[in-house]
């Protein structure tokens, strides 16, 4: 009796799995290795006046205050981005 051929997904051999796993590790290592060192720099969290400035800008951008205001998500994001840039200029001299 002749068995019909299977169509679709077939079982992967361990060598294929090992090759795929190795390629994934190399790819992730390349991505992690290419990130600039400053991307993991959290020293700005120690600058309390700067962090307070960011918190204030977030509150203002979300309609903070006694009465508040109704803003769309895009308006809130734009307001916070503008405020963040102001804080960066004030405390670090760049945007």
In this predicted structure, the answer to whether residue 90 has a pLDDT above a threshold of 70 is yes
Mean pLDDT of the chain: 76
Containing domain of residue 80, as a range? 45-61+71-95
Query: Which are the contacts of 71, defined by CB distance < 8 A and separation ≥ 6?
Result: 61, 62, 63, 79
Instruction: With respect to residue 53, please indicate whether it lies within any of the assigned structural domains.
Output: yes
What pLDDT is recorded for position 47?
A: 92
The share of the chain scoring above pLDDT 70, in percent, equals 56
Residues 17-42: what's their mean pLDDT? 65
In this predicted structure, the answer to whether residue 86 has a pLDDT above a threshold of 60 is yes
Please provide the size of the chain in residues.
95
Instruction: With respect to residue 5, please indicate whether it lies within any of the assigned structural domains.
Output: no
37-74 b/e (C-beta count within 10 Å ≥ 16 → b): eeeeeeeeeeeeebeebbeebeebbbeeeeeeeeeeee
Instruction: With respect to residue 13, please indicate whether it lies within any of the assigned structural domains.
Output: no
Instruction: With respect to residue 26, please indicate whether it lies within any of the assigned structural domains.
Output: no
In this predicted structure, the answer to whether residue 34 has a pLDDT above a threshold of 60 is no
Number of domains in the chain: 1
Instruction: With respect to residue 9, please indicate whether it lies within any of the assigned structural domains.
Output: no
Instruction: With respect to residue 12, please indicate whether it lies within any of the assigned structural domains.
Output: no
Residues 13-36: what's their mean pLDDT? 65
Instruction: With respect to residue 75, please indicate whether it lies within any of the assigned structural domains.
Output: yes
What pLDDT is recorded for position 93?
A: 87
Instruction: With respect to residue 84, please indicate whether it lies within any of the assigned structural domains.
Output: yes
């Amino acid at each position: 009796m002749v068995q019909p051929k299977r169509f679709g997904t077939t079982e992967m051999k361990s060598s294929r799995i090992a090759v795929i796993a190795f390629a994934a590790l190399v790819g992730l290592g390349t991505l992690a290795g290419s990130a600039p060192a400053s991307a993991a720099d959290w020293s700005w969290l120690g600058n309390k006046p700067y962090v307070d400035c960011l918190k204030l800008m977030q509150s203002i951008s979300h309609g903070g205050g006694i009465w508040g205001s109704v803003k769309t998500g895009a308006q809130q994001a734009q307001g916070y981005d503008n405020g963040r840039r102001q804080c960066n200029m004030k405390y670090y001299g760049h945007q």
